[in-house]
């Protein structure tokens, strides 16, 4: 278990997060239950912000990648920590604004923003929109013209660096639904088109090279390639961009196959990238751009756990043992989608020896509804509480009502106190938007 955040084992041997005993949380709020450690979220936001302040003269901004976990409370925390956010849908933008988030610190993303989403973003006065196609540039220009406004934009690029976990590769051409390739000339042609439009103002460029990345060199190489493109654009058009958005993708610990990073490790990644930016700008005689970065998973991933109650146990001798829980793919689809690996512990006896490997199965009517396979676990019985660790990112965000299951509640814990930040759904919520036509009554 990674005890770097506020996960502790108390004197009773129980798992504790944010000073709260997980058995008490399960009893009070029910399971499944998402639990988020407020102090850890704030620590990571401050870590990135402090590096920009101390190593880049404050010439930049951290944008919380809210697709990792979007709710009004987390936007409030980001606002209090003086960082921005990015939104990838009208719904995320609406949630941030409802939380009182300053629109000028919001950047809007997405490869196919709908016309109403562009209107909402412009009306709100967002700080920037990352554009990703000719159609989108023209649509946004028309929207702004109709409103008598000029909108700052960034162009999403593919720098030819693809990274995931411990490896990265350079490619001449990136096959992705996102962005324009630097290598094949399409990016430069798109820049010229955007510069010709009157109601959008190009400020700079954006890239995102992958997720769950532990390879430091990949971020450095991406920054260098982006700045080479800055110089190419300046030479070809006379336009010098003043904003570089390097994206996100810092990896987090899920199992002992992953590094256990401290906040200092994350800081060192950003420092290495900043050093590369400074050096490259000097080499190419460019002004240092305003730096944007978009951490999401690394801010909330390890801040979150999910608590479950064990139900039925099915032991198939010589084949497999299934431990069924009251959650599943409706509140955590990541194993079903990506075969993601997790660490789970018995919440009332964290250090109990793991004497078996089991599959933790959800309650949905799908054979593939699993949280994990061959997971080391101690002996458990029906009614025990299991905690699945590092579930703060892309769990609540990806939850659904599959099989008409209810999306769990989420609580925020700090100093031994828990507060509801997302209410548990009810059956009434499930049928709220159902309509029975008169002919069926």
Contacts of 292 by beta carbon, 8 Å cutoff, 6+ apart: 60, 61, 63, 84, 107, 206, 243, 244, 245, 246
Q: Which of 395, 299, 301, 241 is nearest to 83 (CA)?
A: 299
Angle of the 186-195 helix axis to the 216-237 helix axis, nearest 10: 50
CB 317, CB 307: distance < 8 Å: no
Active-site residue flag, 365: yes
In this structure, what token pair is assigned to residue 71? 């709710």
Residue-wise DSSP of 338-377: H-----EEETT-TT----EEEEEE-SSS-TT-EEEEEEEE
Neighbours of 197 (CB within 10 A): 18
Written as one string, the DSSP assignment of 40-105 is HHHHHHHHHHHHHHHHSTT-EEEEEEGGGS--HHHHHHHHHTT-EEEESSHHHHHHHHHTT--GGG
Q: What is the 8-class DSSP label of residue 127? A: S
- Strand duo 161-165 + 106-108: pairing: unpaired
Set 20, 71, 364, 365: catalytic member: 365
Angle at 209 between CA 336 and CA 93, to 5 degrees: 75
Q: What is the DSSP letter of 112?
A: S
How far is residue 373's CA from residue 367's CA, in Å, rounded to a whole number?
Answer: 12
Tokens describing residue 343: 């660490």
The 10 Å Cβ neighbour count of residue 161 is 24
Strands (E), 97-187: 106-108, 128-131, 151-158, 161-165, 167-170, 180-181
Phi, psi of 300, deg, nearest 5: -110, -15
23 contact partners, CB below 8 Å, separation of at least 6: 14, 347, 348, 385
Active site residues: 365
């Amino acid at each position: 278990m990674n005890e770097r955040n506020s996960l502790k084992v108390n004197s009773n041997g129980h798992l504790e997060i944010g000073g709260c005993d997980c058995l008490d949380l399960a009893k009070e709020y029910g399971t499944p239950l998402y639990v988020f450690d407020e102090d850890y979220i704030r620590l990571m936001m401050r870590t990135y912000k402090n590096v920009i302040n101390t190593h880049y003269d404050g010439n930049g901004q951290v944008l919380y990648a809210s697709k990792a976990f979007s709710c009004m409370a987390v936007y409030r925390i980001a606002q209090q920590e003086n960082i921005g956010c990015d939104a990838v849908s009208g719904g995320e933008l609406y949630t941030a604004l409802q939380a009182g988030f300053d629109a000028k610190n919001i950047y809007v993303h997405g490869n196919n923003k709908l016309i109403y989403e562009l209107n909402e973003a412009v009306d709100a006065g967002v700080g920037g929109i990352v554009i990703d196609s000719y159609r989108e540039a023209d649509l946004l220009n028309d929207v702004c013209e109709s409103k008598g406004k000029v909108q700052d934009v960034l162009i999403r690029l593919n720098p030819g660096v693809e990274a995931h976990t411990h490896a990265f590769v350079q490619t001449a051409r990136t096959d992705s639904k996102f962005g324009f390739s630097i290598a094949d000339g399409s990016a430069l042609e798109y820049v010229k088109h955007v510069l010709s439009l009157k109601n959008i103002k190009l400020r700079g460029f954006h890239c995102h090279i992958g997720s769950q990345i532990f390879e430091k060199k990949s971020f450095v190489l991406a920054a260098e390639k982006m700045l080479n493109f800055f110089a190419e654009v300046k030479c070809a058009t006379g336009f010098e961009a003043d904003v570089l958005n390097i994206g996100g993708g810092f990896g987090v610990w899920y199992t002992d196959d992953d590094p256990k990073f401290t906040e200092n490790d994350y800081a060192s990644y950003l420092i290495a990238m900043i050093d590369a930016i400074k050096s490259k700008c000097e080499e190419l005689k460019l002004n240092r751009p305003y730096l944007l970065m978009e951490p999401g998973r690394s801010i909330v991933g390890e801040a979150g756990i999910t608590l479950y109650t064990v139900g039925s146990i099915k032991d198939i001798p010589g084949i497999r043992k299934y431990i069924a829980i009251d959650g599943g793919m409706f509140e955590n689809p990541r194993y079903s989608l990506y075969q993601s690996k997790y660490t789970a512990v018995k919440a009332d006896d964290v250090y109990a020896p793991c004497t078996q490997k089991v599959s933790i199965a959800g309650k949905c009517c799908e054979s593939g509804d699993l949280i994990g396979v061959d997971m080391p676990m101690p002996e458990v019985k029906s009614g025990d509480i299991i905690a699945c660790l590092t579930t703060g990112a892309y769990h609540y965000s990806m939850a659904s009502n599959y099989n008409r299951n209810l999306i769990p509640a989420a609580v925020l814990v700090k100093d031994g106190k828990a507060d509801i930040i997302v209410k548990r759904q009810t059956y009434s919520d499930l049928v709220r938007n159902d309509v029975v036509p008169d002919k069926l009554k």
